[in-house]
Structure 1
């Protein structure tokens, strides 16, 4: 896309003399213009004199004499070292005048002497037409329209280079001032805009805070450009002493760069609002997440048994009267063994043997009673030995059982005792 700039001036002769140039070009070029062409003018005759004839016929309140338009092309569009590209640029300027400024006198100066060395046109157009001696129309003054017309014609000769959008636009004059350390009021304006954005959460806050940073802002909405801002630097305290302060310290947002335009600023505050919302949601979710993580652990802790125990179905199938099968002994801690012995109820066993040891009442003269008593004592001794054997067996069996109730052990011993009582030996 060709870069375009337009200005109006009341000194048409001076504009023509400046564009023609009678000295060396910029950057030490021996020649100011690479090519010059005429539209509705006679070559070899002073173009200012030819235009002056028409300027004299204009109304007295018509002060503008010429319109100066600059058309610049990137290196991807036209090569400054190629003479054919220089001719192409000059032809674009001529066609531009003939199509969009008919019946007007003009000159096209094609140059490559700028600091950037790019191919560019200085098109000087008379503001007074050849027929009615009237000035240009509103569209012919309107910069966006002029830029559109330039790209329309240039696109017929080449593929336009639209490039990337510039975040921070600066002019050559501003860049030169930066290099030599001079104050640039637009740089001051940009820094104030950025600082205000950093301390604001929404676009409304930012617009309100700009006044605190010495900047006035106006919000506009146009059909062609959409929403944009007009910034004005109100605080001039940073201007160097003795330096003249410009009367107009305003700049439109799209002229400062995309970083300061409405679309980028709206996107900035939208992202900032989303980040704040995420932080608030994260703060609310942290306690709830902790509760959710704790609940399953609590339930598991409640379900976990303190110590392993046999399944209930195994205890139901066990019959107290069934004689236990001897199993090989396995080492157990002293604490477990002692607990099992106490659960078996030795006091109950002693009570049972006391019944057997109880002396039988007899007559001292009855020798049969003495013999019977002796027999009973012998049988009781045998029963105690059998009971002790069964007790040892029960103890060995109990070492493999967990949570064995003392009542079950006692019941088994009593059943064993009943079997002895029912023995025919007694």
Structure 2
């Protein structure tokens, strides 16, 4: 479970409403699986919700209020099944609980969706920047939202965040990729099992061949990198990435596995990677 973002909306609330609650994108047939309301928007249709949010802002005009609203994204891991309607409801109810706990006395619209690239459940939230007394939001940072999300996740039997999302501990996709290469010993089939493509082509500049990797990182961004740029993180000689070095990694790991009589189950590889990363990172995660 992860908080993807919290962003302020200054004046274009209508555009965000149309994006979140409008027509589907990415060629999907269905945009919103469930739409929920919080505060004065509870038990209303999405059209009525947007009107309520607008009336609330108009009831408390302010020249000093910088933002009209905030948009949040709460993403869920495969702990929730995107094809199970009961889990759609659970995702919506958990998001509603997060919003009510983190931002009391505020109205909001929640949309449960699964039309992203991963196909996993996520929720969009449109949160008004006025409460019942017309006061603007004060606790509008990611850390506050993260703390509440952790609490609600544990309460509902989900894993809380385990990696910091701040300037002191940013997600490093290169380290993530290098770690997965180590876990698979650079085996192309094993890498493919976890969504990583390895390509090898002949090269005169870096004979005999150049190895490159491509994958979609934890933040949903497509990444491509030459293997030699990961050399130092893989303990391979600098500025080289010979496939033979990967085979040496595989041989060394095989010897260790044989010695300890341990079998590597590729179906559980993603889980093993996550567990190992959790043990080596500070206690909070995206």
**Range into which the TM-score falls when normalised by the shorter chain:** 0.5 to 0.7
Match of 1:34 in 2: 33
Q: Which residue is equivalent to 1:15?
A: 16
1:82-125 per-position Cα deviation (integer Å, ceiling 9, x unaligned): 11111100001111122221111101111111100111111111
| SS state at 2:70 partner | strand
Deviation of 1:162 (Å): 5.7
Is contact 1:88–1:157 with CA below 8 Å preserved after alignment? no
Aligned to 1:113: 115
Shift of 1:54: 2.2
Q: Which structure dedicates a bigger proportion of its chain to helix? A: 1
Whole-Å separation in 2 of the counterparts to 1:128 and 1:36: 21
- Give the Cα separation in 2 of the matches to 1:156 and 1:92: 10
The offset of 1:145, in angstroms, is: 1.6
CA positional deviation for 1:29 = 2.0
- Partner Cα distance (1:162, 1:9) in 2: 25
What residue number does 1:89 align with? 91
Output aligned runs, 1:18-417, within 5 Å.
18-22=19-23, 24-26=24-26, 28-39=27-38, 40-41=40-41, 43-44=44-45, 45-56=47-58, 57-75=60-78, 77-131=79-133, 133-137=134-138, 140-160=139-159, 167-168=175-176, 170=217, 174-175=221-222, 178=224
> Structure 1: how far apart are the matches of 2:161 and 2:137?
29
Alignment partners' CA distance in 2, 1:173 and 1:98: 28
TM-score normalised by L of structure 2 = 0.55
Q: Against the structure 1 CA distance between its residues 55 and 159, is the aligned structure 2 distance closer, same or farther, given a 3 Å change threshold?
A: closer
CA distance change for structure 1 residues 3 and 50 in 2, over 3 Å: closer, same or farther? closer
- Conserved 8 A contact 1:80-1:119: yes
**Is the partner of 1:54 in helix, strand or coil?**
helix
**SS across alignment from 2:67:** coil
Quick one: distance in 2 between partners of 1:67 and 1:46? 19
Shift of 1:63: 2.8
CA deviations 1:368-409 (Å, max 9, x no partner) are xxxxxxxxxxxxxxxxxxxxxxxxxxxxxxxxxxxxxxxxxx
**Contact 2:92/2:110 (CA < 8 Å) preserved in 1?**
yes
Matched residues in 2 for 1:127 and 1:103: separation?
Answer: 11
Counterpart CA distance in 2 for 1:35 and 1:174 is 27
In 1, the alpha carbon distance for the partners of 2:81 and 2:145 equals 23
CA RMSD of aligned residues (A): 3.3
State the SS of the aligned residue for 1:97: helix
In structure 2, the residue matched to 1:225 is: none
Counterpart-to-counterpart distance in 1, 2:143 and 2:161: 15
Structure with bigger RCO (C-alpha 8 Å, 6+ apart):
2
**Contact residue 127 and residue 135 of structure 1 kept, 8 A:** yes
Shift of 1:46: 3.2
Runs of 5+ consecutive residues of structure 1 not aligned to the other structure: 179-186, 196-257, 264-426
Answer whether contact 2:73 2:123 (CA < 8 A) is retained: yes
**Which structure has the greater CA radius of gyration?**
1
Aligned length: 182
